[in-house]
Amino acid sequence: MGRLFGTDGVRGVANADLTAELALGLSVAAAHVLAEAGTFEGHRPVAVVGRDPRASGEFLEAAVVAGLASAGVDVLRVGVLPTPAVAYLTGALGADLGVMLSASHNAMPDNGIKFFARGGHKLADELEDRIEQTYRAHASGEPWDRPTGAGVGRVRDYDQGFDNYVAHLIGVLPNRLDGLKVVIDGAHGAASRVSPEAFSRAGAEVVTIGTEPDGLNINLECGSTHLDKLRAAVVEHSADLGVAHDGDADRCLAVDSKGNEVDGDQILAVLALAMREAGSLRKNTVVATVMSNLGFKLAMEREGVDLVQTAVGDRYVLEEMKSNGFALGGEQSGHVIVLDHATTGDGTLTGLMLAARVAATGRSLAELVGVMERLPQILINVRDVDKSRVGASRELADAVNAAERELGSTGRVLLRSSGTEPLVRVMVEAADIEQARTVAQRLADVVKTELG
């Protein structure tokens, strides 16, 4: 059996891979591991539990709450809220643990469990490993030490979470959004209420799409992975910009007034310059991953902003930021972390700050993102292959080396196994889009042949 925890918690098909029994067991294990680590020492432990609108989140939430309460943890159930809201509330309420049930941008049948430590930060790899080891030990028959009587956890709904989180978002904005018209695509997900409310309270005129979740339509041809409807809506309503979230709203992509996509790299570039102007870009540095477009790196060099690159995954961006005191980081996919105001990627906050920059400067979003030229980049997801063998195939390594020689200094190649899905990503950048497409397809074919 492989490792349960990926780069972003535990994910799988709900009720097949991710069962109620697994959710309950992991929750009990998390409570015991954190108790042993001294997190609960001297007080009665409290956990914040939230979820996205997926139908499976209803029974998985029940399982997680039951597991925590059975282990003696009091539970504040905040209902459907974005992942960053659960992280924020975990910190703001002084909770010992946060749990979010979501599979983010994945299709509706999937779901996931993500744990947050005290303060709203993601659990360290070492703690995740211990939780998994503890779960496996007890799943094989070792009995739990369970409290009884008054020692069991109590459960209550915390209905103030929505307003508390929205007030936090408005409170950290550098300026209001009066005069802007913004289209918001909530992906029929966790931000369907939060994001429109926050933008409206900040002064924007808001048009919404993808904000009617029914438990089955999350991410369905909408949100940050499907921008066509947002593009059309922005043009139709003559909006200044559009903002798209994913299912749990830890991401934000945007479109300008003409319907052109604005990705995470471009958003980072705009926010980096805004924060430097405001004096909040600590150490004059932005953190991004190796997947960032080469055009972003060149733009930051030209603007005199230092760039630090990490492995792919917002947890690695966050680790680098926390270790070295950096204030801004993110991924091309739209995970943007503003560490002064959030402990994880926050799609609503990112969209608000991007809109605030448009409002403050009086410049269009298209003009602001013109600071960087996005070089042609082709990304192919190769499915149904053994992603664990990416680094072990000599033939694949030779193919990558040949591609790099062909591209020279005007492009680059990156192969990586997905941390959240069963696939290998092939990314090729080149000055010419056709060359990038040809090289990427050739490498994808080799991946399929060698790892299939």
Which residues are annotated binding-site positions for Mg(2+)?
104, 246, 248, 250
Q: Are 52 and 86 in contact (CB under 8 A)?
A: no
Residue 56 appears among annotated catalytic residues: no
Q: Are 11 and 60 in contact (CB under 8 A)?
A: no
* CA 181/CA 194 separation, integer angstroms: 17
DSSP designation for 73: -
Residue with tokens 């995970």: 335
Per-residue tokens: 166: 């929205």
Backbone angle region of 442, left / alpha / beta, with phi > 0 → left and psi within -120 to 50 → alpha: alpha
**Looking at 27, 56, 102, 104, which residue is catalytic?**
104
Residues making up the binding site: 104, 246, 248, 250
| 251-to-3, 61, 120, 280, 346 alpha-carbon distances in Å | 25, 22, 17, 22, 6
Q: Which of 213, 219, 196, 222 is nearest to 79 (CA)?
A: 213
Q: Are 48 and 94 in contact (CB under 8 A)?
A: no
Catalytic positions, written as ranges: 104
